[in-house]
Amino acid sequence: MEQILRPIYQERASQESTLGVIVVEKREKVSPITDTFDTILLIITKENETSVFTKHYTYLDKKAAMHIITEKQLHKWLLLGTNRKIVDWLFHGKIIYDRNEFMEKLKRELKDFPFYGRKIKMGMEFAKLIRRYLEGKVFFEERNYLDAYHHIVESLHHLARLAVLENGLPPEVTVWTQVKQMEPAIYKLYEELVTSDESIEKRLELLFLASEFYIHSRTNDGARHIQEIMAGKDQWTIQELHEQEELRNYSSDLEVFIEYLVDKELIFVKSVNTKSDGIFHRYYYVKS
């Protein structure tokens, strides 16, 4: 298929803004990694009219997808981990065009995995873990066991991704394969949840107890990114925190995360008078 696509990627490679081209071939009969396409043509550009541009092609009984993405969009996906397929494509794809070794440098950076990227990802995964765990616990206490099961599975996925990040690697699509090697205890926890013969109530009860331990042991590391951001000012309103460039990536998980860290005395609250008696503004700060 690469030969068939050659005129398409050669045309793109001749453009000055193109930084690199990668071809990814389907490795399984049905491949979610390539969105079931036989071939993925990934083109990275310095700039483009749209941050993501996609086209689909057919040749005989084969199908291919071309994705043109900007360098800025690529780095956003890599930083936030919001497009897990990209890491797989970059690691396993074949570089067929590389301007000034852009792609080779990028792959080396991914292998080295800069610590800054790990900190923000750990913070975001921990925030998601907290939300899913707390929501699941409420459902469990209300005896809504199927809803609780759904949330505890989601929280375990965030715990798994967090464990991979702690080991200095980006979580891939096959995150449980990574966790089985790096953190077998967490893998065993997940395995027991989905394969145990115990009643769903008993399984959930044990999982929530175990999750409390894993969450507690990771709280300081999970809070580090937001604490470092907040250390830049004496105090913050919740709106200022929502608008902060990096913290806005926490999205809807930010407030429940902050309240959790207030409860753990890693973030502190300062009450400031309003014009109404007995009502105070709520400001947030961290101790230096």
Task: Output the pLDDT for position 81.
Answer: 73
pLDDT, tens digit (0-9, with 9 covering 90-100), for 28-71:
776 778 888 999 999 999 998 899 999 999 988 889 999 999 99
C-alpha 149/C-alpha 244 separation (Å) is 34
pLDDT averaged over every residue in the chain: 91
**CB-based contacts of 183-192 (< 8 A; 24+ apart in sequence):** 186/156, 186/159, 186/160, 186/214, 187/160, 189/156, 190/156, 190/160
Task: Output the pLDDT for position 131.
Answer: 96
Spans of the chain below 50 pLDDT: none
Distance of CA 111 to the CA centre of its chain: 17
The pTM of the full predicted model, rounded to 2 decimals, is 0.73
Report whether 86 contacts 78 (CB < 8 A): yes
Task: Output the pLDDT for position 115.
Answer: 56
Task: Output the pLDDT for position 4.
Answer: 81
Domains and CATH numbers, the chain: 2-111 (3.30.460.10), 115-285 (1.20.120.330)
C-alpha 48/C-alpha 137 separation (Å) is 45
Residue 27 CB-density burial (10 A; 0-12 exposed, 13-18 middle, 19+ buried): exposed
* Number of C-beta neighbours around residue 59 at 10 A: 12
Structural tokens at position 185: 């205890």
Task: Output the pLDDT for position 114.
Answer: 55
